[in-house]
Structures are given as structure tokens and as C-alpha cells.
Structure 1
Amino acid sequence: MIFYLFRLSPLRFCCQQQQQWLLSRTLCSYKHGLLTAPPGIVQRNSSSTLQQEWSQDKILLSKACVKRLHEICDAGEFLRVQVEGGGCSGFQYKYSVDTIKNEDDRVFEQDGVAVVVDRDSLEFIKGGTLDFSQELIRSAFQIVGNPQAEQGCSCGSSFSVKL
């Protein structure tokens, strides 16, 4: 799935997906360098028609995330994403490379890489996008566009949940 983004005005963006133009700030948004759909919706082009698919119990993987996972994971390894108490906002993300899957794990695969999230952690990040950002002062995986998060710290490693 390939999206192109063109800035039209401060509040409106235009998305193009395989020759189809969608003009709406409610349908697409641009945040942290990612083109994202509203929480719960993934857009796909199937037989030249745009369909909406509910993704309430999923996380999406950005291209930068997939690329970085190809670089750091060997065969049989995957990235484990967990949410635990702590950080400056109440909850924090924890990332580790792992080889063992548990019974309550949910596996998200894309382009030959896998990300695993346990059932409890998925409740805190479902609908978000796992991204890899590379900056001068730090490079890290991060969850962006998390619909479960009310606010987060400036570095993106911790968040508070909506009540």
C-alpha cells in the first residue's frame, strides 16, 4: 500500500493511493512524518474500489520500522512490544528482540518481519502505528498515533491512557 502526501493548506491534506484522490482532513492526517488514517480504519484499494477495514485490535508498521527490523533481526527473531507501568506519564513502551512466543501473544507480520504484542499490552496500543525514527540525538522505535493515549512525554517513550 503506497500513499503520497501533498500539503494543500494548514488543515487539509490530499492523499493519493494508486490513482485515487482522497481530499479530507478527517480521512487522512499527517503526524510525525506518517500518513495515518483515523483510529480503527485502514484503507485498501481492492478491485479499484476503496474499502475500509476495521483495525481495532491491530497495530500498523511503518516502512521505516520494517526496514530497521530487517537490519537488526536474524532469522527466527522478532520485535516484542510491551507496555508497563512507569515513565513520566504513567505507562512506558518497552521494545526487545525475542525468539519465544507466548500463548497470549498477537503476531503482526509485514514484508518478512514480525512484531509480537501480548494481549494486555495490545489493549494500550491498538490502532497505533509502530515507527522507527532516526534523529541526531536518538534513534528509537516508537508508537505514533496511539488512540488509547491521552498525552505523552516529549521523547515518546511514555504516555497516559484515556479514561
Structure 2
Amino acid sequence: MIFAVVRNLQKCYKSITVSESVRKFSTEFAENDLKVTEGCVERLQVICDKDEFLRLSVESGGCSGFQYKFELDKTISKDDCIFEKKGIKIVVDTTSLNYVKGSTIDYEQQLIRAAFKLIGNPKAQDGCSCGASFSIKVD
């Protein structure tokens, strides 16, 4: 009986320390691979509540095969990479980060629309004219 309790405590301790180390690694990983413009930071400071952040994900679809998706979110998963700058958070899952490494997130406001966008994606070969979708470079 005592051994079972000790074993359960060890499992709980391992799961707590593993998830914290994954999150720390993910934060460092995202800081090296994703840039954010001042315009993006300023807009997120205005629109996000205290515990909200911008989630960037890559999905199949769009004109060119893949598309960027930006949304406000409050839930962080185990496979998320967290980027923080000036009090705002941007979260990207590890799979999506592989498609956007080296890119910059910007906020663009024009007469006809205002939106977050990804610029300078070194993994993208072609894209549509609005910049919302792209195809992957194949080496």
C-alpha cells in the first residue's frame, strides 16, 4: 500500500516537472524562430484580455495548399511554443512552428481591412495575393 502511494507521488512529480521543462524549452525555441513587429505587439496590447493571447496555426487549405490562422485563445497545450514580448503572448503549436520558422508576425491596417499576417516565411514557396495561404518549398 505504501509503495503504491509513493509510486503515484513519483509519477505526479515527474509529470509536473516534465511539462514545466517542455514549456521552458518551447519558450526558448519560439524566441529564436519567430519575430514579432512593434505594430503587432501594440495591437495585441489593445485587444487582448489579461489571460488571452494570439494563437498562430497552420492548416491545410487555402488557395495554395496551406493557410495561416490567427485567433485569440486562452488555452495552452503541452505541444505549444510560447513567445512573450512586452507583456503579450503568441502561441504556436510545434507542428505549425515547423512551417513558419524564421517568419515575422505583423499587424497591418489598411482602408479595406485590418489583420495579423505572416511575412518573410522562408518555408513558403508560393502564396496567394492576400498572403493568407502558401505552398511549402520542397528541397
Which TM class, normalised by the smaller chain length? 0.7 to 0.9
Q: What is the letter of the counterpart of residue 54 of structure 2?
A: L
Structure 2: how far apart are the matches of 1:83 and 1:108?
A: 17
Structure 2: how far apart are the matches of 1:67 and 1:115?
A: 13
Alpha-carbon distance, 1:92 to partner: 0.3
Q: What is the letter of the counterpart of residue 139 of structure 1?
A: A
Q: What is the letter of the counterpart of residue 87 of structure 1?
A: G
Higher relative contact order (CA 8 A, sep 6+): 2
Alpha-carbon distance, 1:151 to partner: 1.4
Check if 1:128 corresponds to 2:128: no
Identity of aligned residues (%): 51
Question: What aligned pairs does 1:17-28 form with structure 2 within 5 A after superposition?
Answer: none
Alignment correspondent of 2:56:
81
Structure 2 residue corresponding to 1:107, chosen from 68, 82, 95: 82
Kindly report structure 1 stretches of 4+ aligned residues shifted beyond 2 Å. none
Q: Answer yes or no: is the 8 Å Cα contact 1:83–1:94 preserved in 2.
A: yes
Alpha-carbon distance, 1:58 to partner: 1.4
Alignment correspondent of 1:90:
65
Partner secondary structure for residue 33 of structure 2 = coil
Q: Answer yes or no: is the 8 Å Cα contact 2:31–2:83 preserved in 1.
A: no
1:90-132 deviation digits (Å, cap 9, x = unpaired) = 1000111011100000001101000000000000001000000
Q: What is the letter of the counterpart of residue 65 of structure 1?
A: C
TM-score by length of 2: 0.76
Structure 2: how far apart are the matches of 1:76 and 1:117?
A: 16
Bigger helix share: 2
Alignment correspondent of 1:154:
129
Unpaired segments of 5 or more residues in structure 2?
1-29
Bigger strand share: 1
CA pair 75-56 structure 1, distance change in 2 beyond 3 A: closer
Question: What aligned pairs does 1:7-26 form with structure 2 within 5 A after superposition?
Answer: none
Taking only aligned residues, the RMSD between alpha carbons, in angstroms, comes to 1.7
Structure 2: how far apart are the matches of 1:152 and 1:68?
A: 25
Q: What is the letter of the counterpart of residue 154 of structure 1?
A: S
Structure 1: how far apart are the matches of 2:112 and 2:127?
A: 19
Structure 2: how far apart are the matches of 1:56 and 1:149?
A: 20
Unpaired segments of 5 or more residues in structure 1?
1-54
Alignment correspondent of 2:43:
68
Check if 1:145 corresponds to 2:120: yes
Partner secondary structure for residue 78 of structure 2 = coil
Structure 1: how far apart are the matches of 2:107 and 2:81?
A: 20
